[in-house]
Amino acid sequence: MIPPVETKMDGKKMTVIDDLVKQGVFKVEGKQLYELSLYELIKEHMEKVD
């Protein structure tokens, strides 16, 4: 069996999730962070920065 390869998008998503967790965000609109799309994660991250 071939192990899954992490893409650049996966890496970016994990970076944004890590940043949100450091800010104390664990859920957005009742969903776990890993369930959200990269777009939704970045949107939430930008709202927290402002």
Task: Please tell me the pTM assigned to this model.
Answer: 0.80
Residue 16: predicted pLDDT: 94
pLDDT in tens for each of the 50 residues of the chain?
777 778 888 999 999 999 999 999 999 999 999 999 999 999 999 988 77
Radius of gyration of the chain measured on its C-alpha atoms: 12
Q: Between 8-22 and 38-49, two packed helices, what is the crossing angle to 10 degrees?
A: 40
pLDDT at residue number 49: 75
Per-residue confidence (pLDDT) for residue 7, from 0 to 100: 87
Long-range contacts of 14-20 (CB under 8 A, 24+ apart): 16/41, 16/42, 16/45, 17/41, 19/45, 20/44, 20/45, 20/48
